[in-house]
């Protein structure tokens, strides 16, 4: 027999939902995604679609755009996997409304250009921003430092009530933070950048965030 819920739980949840409604919806969507993983076939697709809709509902992009972006990411993973697993492990990409931010580090300029060519092969890609670094830097120490920087920034913007954190994707590579997403306004974007610049060991902050009313969002492919 399950225990009765604490009387404190309900008021706390009500306060949190009023203060951070977008975050609670985002976490719920994430739980749906995790719940979909053990499933197969139609059940997995249905739950996955529900999770996508839940995340998109609190983002500044439509459910249709969110689904299109997932389709592009899936095709990109397939293209890179079939071409070179090593290259796939060296780069990563964020997709926001058909705009792809390509980042990571490779050893040669030839690899950097080749990665760009692969991205343009995916259907639905409208713009590619190539931020891949050509460098021999790497190793566990750099990776751990970059991961810690990203973790700190994620926490900072998630608990800033003036920022809708689900609108932003970020990654740190060799001390450079790359931020992509859709800001509600310039003030929100400025706060994100300010949080990033305050973190120790950050060398540079590169923003490819566009504002919600940016005319590029309405442009077709």
SS3 string of the chain? CCCCCCCCHHHHHHHHHHHCHHHHHHHHHHHHHHHHCCCCHHHHHHHHHHHHHHHHHCCCCCHHHHHHHHHHHHHHHHHHHHHCHHHHHHEEEEEECCEEEEEEEECCHHHHHHHHHHHHCCCCCCEEEEEEEECCCCHHHHHHHHHHHHHHHHHHHHCCCCCCHHHEEEEEECCEEEEEEEECCHHHHHHHHHHHHCCCCCCEEEEEEEECCCHHHCCCC
Say how many domains are in the chain: 2
The average pLDDT across 60-70 equals: 77
pLDDT band at 136 (very low <50, low <70, confident <90, very high): confident
Instruction: Give 207-221 pLDDT, tens digit per residue.
Output: 999 999 888 775 555
Given a cut of 90, whether residue 4 has pLDDT beyond it is: no
Q: Does residue 180 sit within a domain?
A: yes
State whether 52 and 123 are in the same domain: no
Q: Does residue 53 sit within a domain?
A: yes
Instruction: Give 163-197 pLDDT, tens digit per residue.
Output: 999 999 999 999 999 999 999 999 999 999 999 99
Given a cut of 70, whether residue 80 has pLDDT beyond it is: yes
Question: In this predicted model, which residue has the larger pLDDT, 62 or 25?
Answer: 62
Instruction: Give 92-119 pLDDT, tens digit per residue.
Output: 999 988 999 999 999 999 999 999 999 9
Cα–Cα distance between 27 and 55 in angstroms, integer?
9
In whole numbers, what is the pLDDT of the chain averaged over residues?
78
Q: Does residue 70 sit within a domain?
A: no
State whether 50 and 101 are in the same domain: no
């Amino acid at each position: 027999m399950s225990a009765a819920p604490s009387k404190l739980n309900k008021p706390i949840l009500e306060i949190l939902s009023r203060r951070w409604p977008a975050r609670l919806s985002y976490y719920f969507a994430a739980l749906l995604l995790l719940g979909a993983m053990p499933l197969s076939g139609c059940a997995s697709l249905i739950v996955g679609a529900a999770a996508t809709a839940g995340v998109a509902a609190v983002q500044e992009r439509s459910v249709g755009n969110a689904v299109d972006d997932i389709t592009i990411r899936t095709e990109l993973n397939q293209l890179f996997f079939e071409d070179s697993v090593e290259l796939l492990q060296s780069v990563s990409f964020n997709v926001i409304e058909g705009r792809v931010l390509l980042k990571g580090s490779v050893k040669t300029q030839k690899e950097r250009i080749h990665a760009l060519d692969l991205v343009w092969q995916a259907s639905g890609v409208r713009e590619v921003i190539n931020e891949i670094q050509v460098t021999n830097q790497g190793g566990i120490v750099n990776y751990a430092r970059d991961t810690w920087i990203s973790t700190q920034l994620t926490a900072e913007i998630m608990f800033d009530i003036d920022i809708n954190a689900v609108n932003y994707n970020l990654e740190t590579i060799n001390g450079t933070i790359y931020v992509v997403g859709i800001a509600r306004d310039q003030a929100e974007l400025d706060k994100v950048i300010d949080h990033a610049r305050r973190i120790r060991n950050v060398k540079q902050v590169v923003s490819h965030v566009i504002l919600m009313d940016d005319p590029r969002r309405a442009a077709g492919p």
